[in-house]
A = this chain, B = another copy of it.
Amino acid sequence: MKALVYNGAYDVSVQDVPDPRIEAPTDAVVRITTTNICGSDLHMYEGRTDVEQGKVLGHENMGIVEAVGDAIGRIKVGDRVSLPFNIACGTCGNCIKGLTGFCLRANPGSAGAAYGYASMGPYDGGQAEYLRVPWADYNALTLPPGTEHELDYTMLSDVFPTGWHGVELAKMQPGETIVIYGAGPVGLMAAHSALIKGAARVFVVDQQPDRLKLAEQIGAVPIDRRAGDAVEQVTELTDGGADRGVDAVGYQAHGPDGTEQPEIVLNELVAAVKPTGGIGVVGVYVPQDPNAEGELAKQGKLAFDYGTFFFKGQSMGTGQCNTKQYNAGLRDLITEGKANPSFLVSHELPLANAAEGYDQFDRRVDGWTKVVLHP
């Protein structure tokens, strides 16, 4: 089959690879109808991870069940399904608590596995014609048959639940205000989520005009960092600070001067959120970053404004989204027309053009918000 393969830094290509097949009785094989390029794929694309050459990338996958193993009983051939980016066994100590982002069996020695991703287990990704899905009865989310809402449902594998998770980690309640750093796909999904969950006001901080415009279109208040200090803007609009905050940026954050400052978003959130407020962090931070500039950053450490964080009595939740906790509810919101995450999609490409998609998305070419691939 055809698949998008990682060859090295800034080098991916669509190649012929062996077809995936049922390897265990709990497996299914899914024919991919839609798969997206994720911002976190760019970490690998840019060579900042140790992902192996030859890996098929892609963890935002949906499609039609093509084949199932002997132990499969819930899903069946022909079902339209969304696959959470996390691969989870469904039976370990973490999975039974719903912590499917931290499965203890899918990637032994670590907590958490994913398709086509560095350090997340030996699983190929779904930017391909077919995908092997382990523990498929557990992992696959069934969707209404047909092709309706394809571009909405494709956001169920990662960015919509991840944005939602950020708002959950921030413990936002209806009627509250929330400030979200980053107007990329995850930040915009966090804003969409907060509005669905009854936020009184949602602020989205970024410096890219096209993304801020999207934030405004969905009902959020755009905060343009180029127009002045973001913390001051938020503090003024909220009479002292937002109730909650979300970091949808991660360690590759940049200061107003354009330099990489991995701690800047977290420290601004501590300042922009009021005392007792909660902060949810879904932008990625890494335990080591050997290529980073600062000494602390190399060790995965940050000069975190901890004294203020404590003095304000704030709380913080972090980490990969446990996709299965949210995706069924979000699917139903889409089906009923209450959520429409497809507003994110800027480009639909055939799989054959995937390399172009990586290139444009990575260079943050204006208007390339989210690239969707159709094998």
Contact = CB atoms under 8 A, between A and B. Distances in A.
Contacts of A116: none
Interface stretch (A97-105, A147-155, A208-216, A340-348): A97-105
B315 A320 contact: no
A74 B74 CA distance: 20
A288 B315 contact: no
Interface stretch (A13-21, A36-44, A183-191, A324-332): A324-332
A280 to B, nearest CB: 9
A243 B153 CA distance: 22
A301 to B, nearest CB: 5
Which residue of A196, A313, A324 has the most chain B CB atoms within 10 A of its CB atom?
Answer: A313
A70 B289 CA distance: 41
A310 interface: yes
A285 interface: yes
Interface in A75-111: 89-94, 96-99, 101-102, 105, 111
Contact of A200 (B73, B74, B138, B338): B338
Size category of the binding interface on chain A: 35 or more
Nearest to A196: B198
Given A102-B275, A285-B310, A137 B336 contact: no
Contacts of A218: none
A324 B96 CA distance: 8
A266 B311 CA distance: 15
B71 A25 contact: yes
Contacts of A276: 94, 97, 99, 102, 111, 319
B284 A332 contact: no
Interface stretch (A58-66, A125-133, A173-181, A223-231): A173-181
Interface in A138-179: 138, 169, 173-177
Interface of A: 24-26, 69-71, 73-74, 89-94, 96-99, 101-102, 105, 111-112, 137-138, 169, 173-177, 196-201, 251, 263, 266, 275-276, 281, 284-289, 296, 299-320, 324, 326, 328-333, 335-336, 338
Given A281-B310, A300-B306, 5 more contacts: A90-B90, A112-B313, A174-B329, A251-B307, A302-B307
10 contacts: A69-B71, A90-B138, A93-B328, A174-B196, A175-B329, A175-B331, A285-B311, A301-B303, A303-B304, A315-B318
